[in-house]
Structure 1
Amino acid sequence: MKKAIPDFGEREIWAVETAVKERYCKAIEVMQADVELRLDPVLPVLTVCPALVWQEGGATFVISKIGDNRFRSQFFYSVREQYGPGFEEFDDLPLCVVTILKMQEDLDTQRNKIKTN
């Protein structure tokens, strides 16, 4: 399968690493990877897309680049416990990263409240 979408650039990687470092107050390794995604929900065709992946707090985060200034995000704890922003894509990488980090932080806060009650 041919990879038609270019990898993340240095500035894009820096933006993600910076947002992650600000969220956790420490450096977290952000790794480059490739993922296969259905870019068109009507067609059963998978496209190889570059991704940035990191793990923290028991969660794995994935930011996928699906085109020029087009990104998808999700985080998960397991195959059965996956979360996304509730809409298909972002056209702003920093907003994409901050949104998914905030979602996970809010979920963690809810989980901790449930555990303490």
Structure 2
Amino acid sequence: MSHSKIPDFTETELWTVRSTLKERYGRDIELQMADSEVMLGGADGMAWCPSLFWNAKGANFTVVKLGPKRFRAYFYYHPEHQLGTGIDSYDELGECMISVLQVESDHMRKQKISTDQTPAQTDKDAPDKPDTSPLFWGD
């Protein structure tokens, strides 16, 4: 296991995350800071990395700082089934954020299309409150 210390998120990086989330959801989203044990690969092996966690619209998101100017993002609805962007790491946090939010939006749109193609729901299956959050890149 690597014992090298990966620097925490800077104030500028936190601002980037908060600004991107506010643009996406139209409101401030609460961030939780954590450390995640992550496989870095190669000689680095496993390392504890600073991470940001938030949830919105039924999804949970994590952005992990793998090193200075190196980030990875995931989202999930159930902890045992995490989804990523298909890119191992990003050198720009803004690009990482936009990518994970876009992939999650696309995933939800595909799920909705799949659900819309099934038999109609009864009124008792309909949610009590519609989702009124802002649209994002086609959702």
Structure-1-length-normalised TM-score: 0.91
Q: Which structure 2 segments of 5+ residues have no match?
A: 118-139
Deviation at 1:54, TM superposition (A): 0.4
2:59 aligns to what?
A: 59
Task: Give the whole-Å Cα distance in 1 for the aligned partners of 2:47 and 2:63.
Answer: 15
Q: Deviations over 1:64-96 (max 9, x none)?
A: 001110001111111342111112100000000
Q: Which one is further off, 75-84 or 29-38?
A: 75-84
The Cα RMSD (Å) is 1.7
Q: Which one is further off, 78-87 or 30-39?
A: 78-87
2:20 aligns to what?
A: 19
- 1:3 touches 1:49 (CA, 8 Å); kept in 2? no
Deviation at 1:32, TM superposition (A): 1.0
Q: Deviations over 1:37-79 (max 9, x none)?
A: 0111x56942010011100122111100011100011111113
* Distance 1:59-1:3 versus aligned 2 partners, 3 A rule: farther
Dislocated runs of 4+, deviation >3 Å: 42-45
Across the two proteins, how many residue pairs are aligned to each other? 116
2:137 aligns to what?
A: none
Q: Which one is further off, 80-89 or 16-25?
A: 80-89
Of structures 1 and 2, the larger Rg is shown by 2
1:116 aligns to what?
A: 116
- 1:52 touches 1:64 (CA, 8 Å); kept in 2? yes
Structure-2-length-normalised TM-score: 0.77
